[in-house]
Amino acid sequence: MKPFSYERATTPAEAAAAVQRPGAKFIAGGTNLLDLMKLEIETPQHLVDVGGLNLDRIEPTPEGGLRIGALVTNTDLASDKRVRKDYGVLCRAIVAGASGQLRNKATTAGNLLQRTRCPYFYDTNQPCNKRKPGSGCAAIGGVNRQLGVIGTSDACIATYPGDMAVAMRVLDAAVETVNAAGATRAIPIANFHRLPGSTPHIDTTLQHGELITGVTLPRPLGGTHVYLKVRDRASYAFALVSIAAVIQRDGTGHVAIGGVAPKPWRNEAADAALPQGAKAAASRLFAGARPTPENAFKVPLAERALAAVLAEVKAA
Ligand SMILES: Cc1cc2nc3c(=O)[nH]c(=O)nc-3n(C[C@H](O)[C@H](O)[C@H](O)COP(=O)(O)OP(=O)(O)OC[C@H]3O[C@@H](n4cnc5c(N)ncnc54)[C@H](O)[C@@H]3O)c2cc1C
Ligand code: SF4
């Protein structure tokens, strides 16, 4: 690991100002960033620990939704009574991820910002445009069974690996931030993660030094909430395909897919087609898909997973 300096911020303004230093990064639970630093995939010169900020509460919003502080741990979020009652898809997505110990440390903001699990991103002997811009992409033409089938580019076919954000996408959450000048903004989760294009090293629309302060959930949608994660092992594995769905009694609803794209994948045409069944919705979700020979199985797998979700909802 490269040497780095460290400080612990006490207010969001102080944290946002401190991270303006060249090579500075925030650290929260450290469960992703420290692994990347040990492998020298990320080499920050200075860490600003946000763990002391007062951002660990879940509060109702005036609009009837919930505001989740950036430091709320995955464990606390998934066990919150209001989340369990009104946002079941979020609770189920979180407990489908990682392990109990990791969820005790992992924070809401850190989870949103976890980096891809593409094996070549982790292998510093291999070319990877996301790790080293302009170096090439070893996954294209390499072992890419786990990687993306849609939203990818000629520069990168990695997926966004997380579970929580897929549920947040179906719930239309917004990510709240503050910068060093004190300016705040709310970024719809649909616009938070980026498609790679020719700049796959930039994962999100956050600007350098912008601190995530929380995530807001709109009013509860009602309906039946399901999160189905299909993976190679029954636990402690990232999704090959995951389905986050909120379905109403009349068959209308919302669906987002994980494990298939550089961001949680959703489109309005697929939502509109849900009453016609999984085939109709999946054909809209995967319109324009560019799978590789190794990962083409993900498209029919996602359709079947969605069919299983709709059948589960019907039987509920
Ligand atoms: C073995 C293993 C298995 C896992 N399995 C899963 C899984 O199945 N599903 C899943 O979803 N996840 C999984 N994870 C990922 C895990 O959930 C993430 O590592 C964790 O959520 C990251 O949160 P953190 O608080 O530890 O982030 P950190 O590691 O502290 O930070 C991650 C990134 O977020 C930035 N950051 C942190 N807080 C802020 C803030 N407030 N504002 C701006 N930037 C910030 C940091 O600078 C860093 O770039 C797994 C991890 C491991 C190690
Ligand atoms: S798919 Fe993306 S992350 Fe993986 S090697 Fe290619 S550029 Fe790197």
Kindly give the distance from the C-alpha atom of residue 7 to the centroid of ligand 2, in angstroms, as a whole number. Answer: 32
Index of the ligand 1 atom closest to the CA of residue 71: 41
- Integer Cα distance of 76 and 94 in angstroms: 10
**Whether pLDDT at 62 is above 90:** yes
Index of the ligand 1 atom closest to the CA of residue 33: 29
At residue 31, the pLDDT reads 98
Q: 220 burial class (0-12, 13-18, 19+ CB within 10 angstroms)?
A: middle
**Whether pLDDT at 43 is above 90:** yes
Mean pLDDT of 137-143: 97
Kindly give the distance from the C-alpha atom of residue 178 to the centroid of ligand 2, in angstroms, as a whole number. Answer: 30
Looking at all shown ligands, the one closest to residue 116's CA atom is 2
Residue 64 makes CB contacts below 8 A (sequence gap 6+) with: 218, 219, 220
Judge whether 238 and 165 are in contact, CB under 8 Å: no
Protein residue with its CA nearest to atom 2 in ligand 2: 156
Residue 105 makes CB contacts below 8 A (sequence gap 6+) with: 29, 30, 31, 73
The sheet carrying 184-188 orders its strands as 58-60, 66-69, 211-217, 174-178, 184-188
Protein residue with its CA nearest to atom 6 in ligand 2: 137
Query: Minimal CA–CA distance to 177: which of 94, 232, 108?
Result: 108
At residue 236, the pLDDT reads 86
Looking at all shown ligands, the one closest to residue 155's CA atom is 2
Kindly give the distance from the C-alpha atom of residue 138 to the centroid of ligand 2, in angstroms, as a whole number. Answer: 7
296 pLDDT band, cuts 50/70/90, is very high
Mean pLDDT of 198-202: 98
At residue 234, the pLDDT reads 87
Index of the ligand 1 atom closest to the CA of residue 34: 29
At residue 48, the pLDDT reads 98
CB atoms within 10 A of CB 291: 19
Question: Is pTM, for the whole model, over 0.85?
Answer: yes
Kindly give the distance from the C-alpha atom of residue 9 to the centroid of ligand 1, in angstroms, as a whole number. Answer: 19
At residue 316, the pLDDT reads 85
Mean pLDDT of 279-286: 98
pLDDT tens by residue, 229-258: 999 998 889 999 999 999 999 999 999 999
- Integer Cα distance of 228 and 247 in angstroms: 13
Mean pLDDT of 118-131: 98
Kindly give the distance from the C-alpha atom of residue 288 to the centroid of ligand 1, in angstroms, as a whole number. Answer: 30
Judge whether 60 and 21 are in contact, CB under 8 Å: no
CB atoms within 10 A of CB 152: 27
Amino acid identity, position 249: R
